[in-house]
Amino acid sequence: MSMEVKLDKDKLVPILEMMGYNTINGTDVWKKASENQDEFVFWGVDFKKNEIFKWVEDHREYDVPEDLVFMELKMLVENSVEPGGEPNADEPIADQSREDCQEGSTSKENASHSYENSDTPDEKPSQILDLIHGYVGNDVLEVFGDTGSGKSKFALTVAKEAIASGKKVFYLDTERNLTEADIAGLKGCEYKYTPVIEEIDSTCQKLPAVDVVIVDSIGFPILTSYARLSVKQKGDALLKLIAIFGDLKNWAYKNNGIVVVTNQPESEFNKAPNHVLRPFGDKSQFAAKEIWKTEIVDRKPAYTNIRISAFRSRSVGHRTKITNMKISSNGVELKA
């Protein structure tokens, strides 16, 4: 299918990589092969010829409406060439902060951040930031788990420790899990609440130049309305989620920062009994450098113990313990 508008290679390639597409020998053709080894089929984007296609046996097919992978690729490409100006990555967001959160932030250019020690006596080093940075560097960490398994508490703890260590933090809240007291404890941060996916998308395209970005939660706004969406709307929503992850990953690279996003597991509906539930969002999970999972291991009236383990990691094996988290009336405690 030849596209009427020239394909934006710089914009599309990072998303194609997340979706499992790759190029051979640096050509302008990006493709993904079928998982069925009995057939020679793959889907591709040809930037030189400005077209998308499905390769079957020995030829390209350009109109395959019954093929879900091809239609997913078609929607991705069409969304990437929609009219509208490019967002300015350095433009601060129009923040709807609460009284206790500061507005605006100063810009910076590729500053190298240390998450270990601070030069200011009143600032405390952050053990959790050290831990995260040791695994992901300046990239995206995704933390997912069942409802009530401590995801938001973990994200809030990261934000508080980052602020205490002198880091600038932007907190995007999509669930309103934080109490007034929680928000009041985030003095010095930039806080924004919105459950609207279009506003979340817009915000993530123009994040401020801070040290740490928290998104709690990235999948919840889509997941809550997913059952009501048509097949096309579901595809569009998942592609938007992938694009948001791409924006967060690009922000982390450009700002030498850390991004922590929380997410829910995918639905159990129509899954095999032995299927391992992944984070909601289909191919968006490939954007995160690391994926950690929160699980309740012990719940008492006075406290809840949570295990945080590696779900997908480049450093350690699946289900390797990362840290333990204890939630009680005294607060949140992270320990090895």
pLDDT in tens, 187-198: 889 999 999 989
- The pLDDT, as a whole number, for residue 152 is 93
- The pLDDT, as a whole number, for residue 138 is 93
Final residue of a domain: which of 80, 110, 139? 80
Final residue of a domain: which of 45, 80, 115? 80
Tell me if 153 is assigned to some domain.
yes
Q: pLDDT band for 328, please (50, 70, 90 cuts).
A: very high
* 298 and 177 co-located in one domain: yes
Please list, in sequence order, all residues whose beta carbon lies within 8 angstroms of the beta carbon of residue 211, skipping any fewer than 6 positions away.
113, 162, 167, 168, 169, 255, 257, 258
Tell me if 257 is assigned to some domain.
yes
Query: Which has the higher per-residue pLDDT, 30 or 95?
Result: 30
Number of domains making up the chain: 2
* 32 and 153 co-located in one domain: no
Amino acid at 207: L
Tell me if 328 is assigned to some domain.
yes
* 311 and 202 co-located in one domain: yes
> Residue 326: pLDDT above 50?
yes
CA distance 257 to 279: 23
Tell me if 207 is assigned to some domain.
yes
Please list, in sequence order, all residues whose beta carbon lies within 8 angstroms of the beta carbon of residue 200, skipping any fewer than 6 positions away.
172, 174, 194, 215, 218, 221, 244
Amino acid at 65: P
* 197 and 52 co-located in one domain: no
* 53 and 163 co-located in one domain: no
Q: Cα–Cα distances in Å, from 40 out to 22, 26, 27, 60, 196?
A: 16, 22, 20, 12, 41
Domain housing 141: 127-335
> Tokens 């967002």 belong to which residue?
87
Q: Which residues pair with 214 in a beta bridge?
A: 171, 260
- The pLDDT, as a whole number, for residue 68 is 75
Q: pLDDT band for 247, please (50, 70, 90 cuts).
A: very high
Q: pLDDT band for 2, please (50, 70, 90 cuts).
A: low
* 58 and 192 co-located in one domain: no
Q: Which residues pair with 141 in a beta bridge?
A: 260, 290
- The pLDDT, as a whole number, for residue 85 is 39
- The pLDDT, as a whole number, for residue 113 is 41
Tell which residue, 174, 208, 176, 214, has the closest CA to residue 194: 174
Q: pLDDT band for 239, please (50, 70, 90 cuts).
A: confident
DSSP letter (8 states) at residue 21: -
Tell which residue, 15, 18, 11, 16, has the closest CA to residue 29: 16
Q: Which two tokens stand for residue 248?
A: 């967060």
Q: Report percent pLDDT > 70 for the chain.
A: 79
Q: Which two tokens stand for residue 150?
A: 């401590």
Final residue of a domain: which of 47, 64, 80? 80
Tell me if 102 is assigned to some domain.
no
Tell me if 186 is assigned to some domain.
yes
Tell me if 313 is assigned to some domain.
yes
- The pLDDT, as a whole number, for residue 143 is 95
* 47 and 190 co-located in one domain: no
* 63 and 137 co-located in one domain: no
* 26 and 142 co-located in one domain: no
* 70 and 141 co-located in one domain: no
Neighbours of 229 (CB within 10 A): 14
pLDDT digits (tens, 9 = 90+) for 140-189: 999 999 988 999 999 999 999 999 999 999 999 999 988 888 999 898 89
CA distance 171 to 183: 10
Tell me if 316 is assigned to some domain.
yes
- CATH number at 139 reads 3.40.50.300
> Tokens 């990555």 belong to which residue?
89
CA distance 267 to 259: 25
pLDDT digits (tens, 9 = 90+) for 83-137: 433 333 333 333 434 344 443 333 333 333 444 444 444 556 668 999 999 999 9
* 143 and 219 co-located in one domain: yes
* 141 and 64 co-located in one domain: no
- The pLDDT, as a whole number, for residue 134 is 92
